Amino acid sequence: MASSLVISIDELWLKGRNQKHYFKAAIDHINAVIKNNHSDKYTQKVQSQRLYYTSETAFSEEVIKALTFIPGLAYISPCTIIDRAPGVEIENIYQEILKELSFLENSNKTFRATVKRNDKNYPLSSVELQREIGHRIIEKYPLAKVELVNPELTVEMRIFADYATISTKSFKGIGGLPWGSTGHAVTLLSGGFDSPVASYLMTKRGIRQDYVFFHAYPFVGREVLTKIKGLASSLAKFQRQAHLYIVPFGDIQNLISKNCKEEYRTLFFRRYMIEIANLLAGRIGASALVTGDCVGQVSSQTLANLHLMDKASERIILRPLIGYNKMEIMHLAATIGTHDISIIPHDDACSLFASKNPIITPNQQYWDLQSAEFNMAAELNKALDNVESYSVNILGELYKKDYFSFDG
């Protein structure tokens, strides 16, 4: 691997006067990832809205892979940086390109050359340089073929005032907006496929997230917590830091199941999960909730039932999967690395208490009367006061923390 990297930021051109804010958020996240995965010193500079990192030693494949998980990055390209020396610089560049492409010796890969001149005073045009690079490659490696539309390999050269860069390989980032640049949310995490994927999609939109899981002990054991911690750990690669809050919810579920019509149980479970998530959001300063809901997937996700949850929430509920089908969600889960954890069987107290005929279109009068009769404020705050709290670092490591402790 190369000892220099060039990194481009996604969607930066959309941001106008806010570019500095998004750029700084991306830089902070990149630096955190490199420091945790690369032990040697490195330098960083910004040139033409790209980031250039150079180290005394090569950046490993592990570093580059970790960088591809950072929200807001378009491409990460290992590159060679060549100092410009008048009179000999262009020959140095050509020779360096041929050295980089030595793997074409016995290969018939297709390629194209692209040149960008940030130094507009350079005597040769971009087109002239591209032609010469292509000619040199074909001359040295005759099996290679030029393909301008959809090549297997792109040789990219950029010329600046005092140096030039060459890259022959790029790794696609996940794109979107930098982590933490658009706000803070509480994500309701379950053991299924949906909520981890929803979390990923919201991370791509720059939202910093903390996770809450509702543990129905004693109706389910503590084994499920291993799975939930695994999901939080897996999602950590997309964030600089997160927290996982495990809320004891079994007593509340038992109380609800004994005091409402059976077909309304799941709706009331979800309603009070939403209320606790709002209380948690108030304590940690989050301004939104994230759920894995999609329309019609289960009975609690009809439009009427989703509307009830919206009315129960003090904060906006973000549902990035609202129009996805299950196969699309499972495909995304496999892509982001949560599928194999989500597929592990676990006990589910909601299923244990669920009605065989859950309500599809709730009666508003009954809902309002029953909600007033429950008067759950004390129970909800008690559950939150007894939360089990973990901090999740950038490497996915969990460690127990005091509820109100701050992690820098």
> Beta strand pairing status for 207-215 and 242-248?
parallel
Burial of 239 (0-12, 13-18, 19+ CB in 10 A): buried
Backbone angles phi, psi at 2, to 5 degrees: -80, 160
- How is domain 4-172 classified at the architecture level of CATH? 2-Layer Sandwich (3.30)
What are the boundaries of each domain within the chain? 4-172, 183-400
∠ Cα 140 144 150 (to 5°): 135
- Determine if the pTM surpasses 0.75: yes
Q: Going residue by residue through the chain (408 aa), what tens digit of pLDDT does each one get?
A: 688 999 999 887 767 777 888 889 999 999 999 999 998 999 998 887 889 999 989 999 999 999 999 999 999 999 988 887 665 578 888 888 898 899 898 889 999 999 998 888 888 899 999 999 999 999 999 999 999 999 999 999 998 888 888 998 889 999 999 999 999 999 999 989 999 999 999 999 999 999 999 998 888 888 899 999 999 999 999 999 999 999 999 999 999 989 999 999 999 999 999 999 999 999 999 999 999 999 988 888 899 999 999 999 999 999 999 999 999 999 999 999 999 999 988 776 566 666 778 889 999 999 999 988 888 999 999 999 999 999 999 999 999 987 655 554
Q: Which residue has the tokens 């930066």?
A: 12
Burial of 253 (0-12, 13-18, 19+ CB in 10 A): buried
CB of 276 closer than 8 Å to CB of 212: yes
Q: For residue 134, what pLDDT is reported?
A: 93
Strand positions, DSSP E, 249-373: 288-290, 316-318
Mind giving me the DSSP string for 122-158? -SS-HHHHHHHHHHHHHHH-TT-EE-SSS-SEEEEEE
For the domain covering 183-400, report its CATH number: 3.40.50.620
Token reading at 310: 């919206």
Token reading at 221: 């054991």
